Structure 1
Amino acid sequence: MAARGLEKSFHGRLILKGVDFDMQAGDITVIIGKSGSGKSTLLRALAGLTDPDDGQIAFDGKIVFAEKKRTREWNTVRSEVGMVFQSYTLWPHMNVLENLTLAPKKKLGLKPAEARDRAEAALAEVGMAQHILSRPTQLSGGERQRVAIARALMMKPKLLLCDEITSALDPPVAAEVLDVLRRLKEEEGIAVALVTHDMAFASKAADRVVFFHNGEIAVNTTPENAFENCDNPDLKKFVDAVRF
């Protein structure tokens, strides 16, 4: 995934200011910064949930957004970009299996047996195979988050976008979610972009750290440089304010 010159405004306020952003297969990129700095807007643009006002987005070498609109190529790759939200967004009246298979059956035309096989495999990836017939209300927050990740995996994504997925979780549960993301990265080669305010989680998860400041990427560096050898005053101030 590569983005060039992304710009986005809401109600006259410029949220993304010419943002360039790259993702590599098998990397976890952690995106940090103050609320309103553009982090979640970037994820939503990459996921196709909001269109930038300007700029270009490419995925797997295909231009999927350019000249202020999505290209035809977007439809060929959209299923390869998954997104997981803080709020889980699971249907409470459906069990886990039904939550996972709804979109693949409708969007990919999977038959019930094939969809169930894929659901069982996705749940096994996140350690939730035993809960395939449970309702979301029967699960803990960490379990619901892992089901949400499994649901994203149903579409066989190459890129997984995660927006504050551990903010409502206790540290031990967040660590379980981190283990899931690491395993997906190492075993499946999935690229992960993760927005978080949890610096402990960020320092453990990241291959790269991207710091947003006033709608721009002010720092793009290693976790060691971001958290231990920071020479950017805005990043240092932010990290010190929310540190561990």
Structure 2
Amino acid sequence: MNEVAPANAGSTQADDGQTNAARAHAGRAISANIGDVLVSCRGLRKSFGDREVMKSIDFDMRAGDITVIIGRSGSGKSTLLRAIAGLTDPDDGEMTFDGEVVFSEQKRTPAWKQVDSHVGMIFQSYTLWPHMDVLKNLTLAPRKRLGMSESESLERAKKALAEVGMSDHIRSKPVQLSGGERQRVAIARALMMQPKLLLCDEITSALDPPVAAEVLDVLRRLKEEEGIAVALVTHDMAFASKAADRVVFFHEGEIAVNATPDDAFNHTEDPELKKFVEAVRF
């Protein structure tokens, strides 16, 4: 792959064609305003073999909210994120995104192709290409998937890296970065597709607490400054109590508690949530 050239006033006709292609394939605009329901799941079920990991899950997320999802390993948290992201299909149930039915009757609907670019997912393992520098890691998907021009992808990469505090590392290779820096790059890469929803699966579990706090602060700022909704699977109760709009507690494949942080942590009557919080706080 050739290096991306700096943007300049003399854009070629080919570049303009790529930009038009990017617009054509970017999907429809999202109409949900801050506070509107962005994602709605009803009756989601998923089994792996004989083990049912999601049992008739009902779940809503509002545009611009941070939802922290907690619970023991294997309780269904990550499976829900992967279902919303389109990485796994439920066995049953229905999902809507911005009012469009995107999963129904055990399959994705045509509407999913119109909204999937608005959903970004970030993993614990970063999933960065080790042989590419940061810039190429960020620009590969928009150029291949959306037909974005070199100049437009470069400008978008600069903006995304600035938003996560990584502007000085645009030419670095992943091996030259710390774990926290790699996770910031992974967030920036997700931002390249201009998502309305970021799904984050244990993205700070391998980081030292101060570094994890910095990464989580990036997500909080994206919510406040860009209006991006965030669903985050984490064991960081401090972040959940301070930054979350909702706390969702999974227990044995079901949502046992869906409440404000104050209600979830200070006023819950759910015995399993009480035990879980006490176990991870200390």
Which of the five TM-score ranges fits, normalised by the shorter chain?
Answer: over 0.9
Measured in 2, the distance between the counterparts of 1:171 and 1:196 equals: 12
Percent identical among aligned pairs is 76
Measured in 2, the distance between the counterparts of 1:239 and 1:170 equals: 20
**Corresponding position: 1:205 with 2:243:** yes
Stretches of 4+ aligned residues off by more than 3 angstroms: none
Aligned partners of 1:64 and 1:71 also within 8 Å = yes
- Paired residue type of 1:91: W
Give the alignment of 1:33-72 within 5 angstroms: 33-72=71-110
- 1:123-179 Cα distance to aligned partner (Å, 9 max, x none): 011011111110011111111000000000000100000000110111111111121
| Structure 1 counterpart of 2:180 | 142
**Corresponding position: 1:188 with 2:226:** yes
Measured in 1, the distance between the counterparts of 2:158 and 2:90 equals: 36
Unaligned runs of 5+ in 1: none
| Structure 2 counterpart of 1:220 | 258
Total equivalences in the alignment: 244
Measured in 2, the distance between the counterparts of 1:204 and 1:139 equals: 28
SS in 2 for 1:23: strand
- In the TM superposition, what is the alpha-carbon distance from 1:90 to its structure 2 partner? 0.3
| Structure 1 counterpart of 2:267 | 229
- Paired residue type of 1:229: H
Measured in 1, the distance between the counterparts of 2:265 and 2:122 equals: 25
Give the alignment of 1:83-232 within 5 angstroms: 83-232=121-270
**Corresponding position: 1:23 with 2:61:** yes
Aligned partners of 1:209 and 1:226 also within 8 Å = yes
- 1:24-49 Cα distance to aligned partner (Å, 9 max, x none): 11110000000000000000000000
SS in 1 for 2:62: coil
Measured in 1, the distance between the counterparts of 2:58 and 2:45 equals: 10
Aligned partners of 1:174 and 1:201 also within 8 Å = no
**Corresponding position: 1:80 with 2:118:** yes
- 1:49-78 Cα distance to aligned partner (Å, 9 max, x none): 000000011101111000000000000001
- Paired residue type of 1:42: L
**Which structure has the greater CA radius of gyration?**
2
Measured in 1, the distance between the counterparts of 2:154 and 2:144 equals: 14
- In the TM superposition, what is the alpha-carbon distance from 1:121 to its structure 2 partner? 0.6
TM-score by length of 2: 0.85
- 1:192-239 Cα distance to aligned partner (Å, 9 max, x none): 000012223322331110000010000001111222222110100111
